[in-house]
Amino acid sequence: MLDKSESICNHCSVGCNIEVGSRKQTLRVIKPKENESVNKYFICDKGRYAPHAADSSDRPLDVYINGTKEAELNHDAGKLLKETLQNDFKYGGILGSEREDLISNVTLKELSEELNVPFSSFNDSDVEDKVKLAVSLSANSPSIDDIEVADCIFIVGEITEQATMLDLAARQALKKEVPVYLINSAPTLFAELEKKYSNLKRLSIPTNEINDELTKIKNQNDDDGFHGNLQNDIANANKPVILGMVDSLSLKGIQLLNEINENFEKSKLGFALPASGSYGAALVSQPQSCDKLLTSIENGNLKTLLIVGNDPLSGNQRKRWKNAIAKLEKLVVIDYIYSETAKEANLFLPSTAHVERNGVLINFEGRVQSFEASYKKELPLFDPEGLRKSLSSNVQTKINEFLNKLFITKPSVKSQGVLLTAAQIKSLINTSHINFKEVKTSNGINVEVYRWFGEESVANFSKEISSLSPQKNVLISKEIIEDNKGTECYEVKLKNNGKEIIMPFKVSKQLPKNSIALQKEKLNELNIFELSNIQLEFIKPLFTDASQSNNTGGY
């Protein structure tokens, strides 16, 4: 017999309900749990398999000191954290995470206020602003049900890869022959449906040109073609839905989507956020919290940094974080993956995995949902709930006061969750400081992030799960291959800022012109930050291998 519990998937911001089956302190199975208001009876493959990272052979269950396992000491993670907070934290700072749940982030926030040290839940100041803006504009977000019954849908970004169950809902609408419009920059499985459904209209443009297209749509200044048809179809629809993927949009793009939405009386606007805890992280963090935390470290004002469930050294601002971390005297990382940041920690403390925790998540539409642990390992792991209970009554009161702004009674795991109101969101999110700076553009080859729909920050660290990822090719638009005489080649050398890698490649029919798409880990290897000057050189094979082809498989 399995021990069963009711939980919420934490592998994207949709917040699907799941049933967790465990036995002997190990995860055995994840099944969908019915919730009419969210995922009905379904979950995606990522939701089914990614939680098994909890039982990965790579999962760290020991304390590490300066990268060395201290298993034989059998340290108690909770006790070691308390010692750190008592002894080393006068000049400390705390970094929570978008993949930690609301209770964990609120606990860390209130702890930071008690200790009078800076706190953020974000490792990227641009992402922090984007998530806060998107959340502040999500008061009338469509549910999965609204998407399924929509009579016109406009999507910006790679929906399958960033919010798979929203893709599934949009497919239901496609099948009913309603007009669906998609703007994508990187390849997405959803775009493949254009081969089957003529009612799917698509525009493929580089990320840095999305705002120009959204401005045309907002100004209604293009009467025929994609823009004009989209405007007419939304205007004539009774239940139109607009969906933006925050990872694919700039701040300005998020604002433009809202302005487009305001042009139409009946449309609903929603955003898929970067992670399951993004919504809660936005409510908890003060304005510009990430930048303030980083600046404090850079100015030498902090000696110790506590990071819980975050991996800033794998994020877009990793260069800045690397330099900042080098200035610290002590880095303490708590996590259930041994991330790039965990490897740099002076003290690493293992934590409970998501399926081993109780907590609260807020999904993309602002639905507050509780989840419960399926089992507890008989190991002294750090647990956010344990930390909360160990804090003084004064801090616990403040945690409860904060949570009371969101719900008087925590929604039960058996309920369908509770939607936040526009007034609640407005009282907790301040976007007045946001600077809508224009995105810098590069004149060279356009580089996009290629996401596999099964990848995600936790699952990627489990070799059993990441091994399911399709072969790691670079995707290249057709004319680059033709212009550079690459048609008879199978591999390409990519060079950027003194780094180079050789990879197999595939032609992508979906990519915009003059573009390539690479998985995030390869972008990191090539040191590609905001602007790149990537160069490529096709490698001629010595012999022709009839079994290989560079013209298939890429989408």
The binding site for ligand SF4 (CB under 6 A) comprises: 9, 11-12, 14-16, 39, 43-44, 46-47, 164-165
State the nearest-atom distance from the C-beta of 106 to ligand SF4, in Å: 21
State the nearest-atom distance from the C-beta of 385 to ligand SF4, in Å: 22
* Nearer to ligand SF4 among residue 44 and residue 492 (C-beta): 44
* Nearer to ligand SF4 among residue 154 and residue 364 (C-beta): 364
501: left (phi over 0), alpha (psi -120 to 50) or beta: beta
User: Cα-flanking dihedrals φ and ψ of residue 147, to 5°?
Assistant: -70, -40
Q: Which residue is nearest to ligand SF4 (CB)?
A: 47
Matching residue, tokens 């539409």: 365
* Nearer to ligand SF4 among residue 273 and residue 474 (C-beta): 273
State the nearest-atom distance from the C-beta of 164 to ligand SF4, in Å: 4
DSSP designation for 312:
G
* Nearer to ligand SF4 among residue 38 and residue 293 (C-beta): 38
Task: Compute the distance between CA of residue 316 and CA of residue 68 in angstroms, rounded to an integer.
Answer: 27
- Kindly list the strands in the beta sheet with 304-308, ordered across the sheet, starting from the edge strand earlier in the chain: 68-69, 64-65, 347-350, 330-335, 304-308, 92-95, 119-120
State the nearest-atom distance from the C-beta of 169 to ligand SF4, in Å: 10
* Nearer to ligand SF4 among residue 27 and residue 297 (C-beta): 27
Alpha-carbon dihedral sign for residues 516, 517, 522, 526: positive
* Nearer to ligand SF4 among residue 336 and residue 505 (C-beta): 336
* Nearer to ligand SF4 among residue 165 and residue 480 (C-beta): 165
Strands 499-508 and 268-272: unpaired
State the nearest-atom distance from the C-beta of 442 to ligand SF4, in Å: 32
| Contact (Cβ atoms closer than 8 angstroms) between residue 190 and residue 159 | yes
Structure tokens at 108: 């860390």
State the nearest-atom distance from the C-beta of 162 to ligand SF4, in Å: 9
* Residues near 112 by beta carbon (within 8 Å), at least 6 away in sequence: 93, 94, 118, 119
State the nearest-atom distance from the C-beta of 31 to ligand SF4, in Å: 11
CA atoms within 13 A on the CB side of 394: 5
> Helices marked H in 249-392 — which ranges?
251-262, 278-284, 289-298, 318-325, 340-343, 384-390
Structure tokens at 113: 């206020």
Burial of residue 263 (number of CB atoms within 10 Å: 0-12, 13-18, 19+): middle
State the nearest-atom distance from the C-beta of 406 to ligand SF4, in Å: 20
DSSP 16-39: -EEEEEEETTEEEEEEE--BTTTT
State the nearest-atom distance from the C-beta of 11 to ligand SF4, in Å: 4
Matching residue, tokens 């058996």: 414
* Nearer to ligand SF4 among residue 43 and residue 305 (C-beta): 43
How far from 32 is each of 19, 47, 113, CA to CA, in Å?
A: 6, 9, 38
* Nearer to ligand SF4 among residue 47 and residue 240 (C-beta): 47
> Helices marked H in 151-298 — which ranges?
159-162, 164-175, 210-219, 225-236, 251-262, 278-284, 289-298
State the nearest-atom distance from the C-beta of 121 to ligand SF4, in Å: 19
DSSP 186-208: S--GGGGGGGT-TTEEEEE--GG
State the nearest-atom distance from the C-beta of 232 to ligand SF4, in Å: 31
Question: What pairs with residue 202 in β-bridges?
Answer: 182
* Nearer to ligand SF4 among residue 42 and residue 402 (C-beta): 42
* Nearer to ligand SF4 among residue 43 and residue 474 (C-beta): 43
State the nearest-atom distance from the C-beta of 30 to ligand SF4, in Å: 9
Instruction: Report the b/e string of 269-285 with b at 16+ CB within 10 A.
Output: bbbbbbbbbbbbbbbbb
* Residues near 400 by beta carbon (within 8 Å), at least 6 away in sequence: none
* Nearer to ligand SF4 among residue 7 and residue 120 (C-beta): 7
State the nearest-atom distance from the C-beta of 35 to ligand SF4, in Å: 11
* Nearer to ligand SF4 among residue 106 and residue 165 (C-beta): 165
Task: Compute the distance between CA of residue 302 and CA of residue 397 in angstroms, rounded to an integer.
Answer: 27
State the nearest-atom distance from the C-beta of 248 to ligand SF4, in Å: 16
* Nearer to ligand SF4 among residue 32 and residue 554 (C-beta): 32
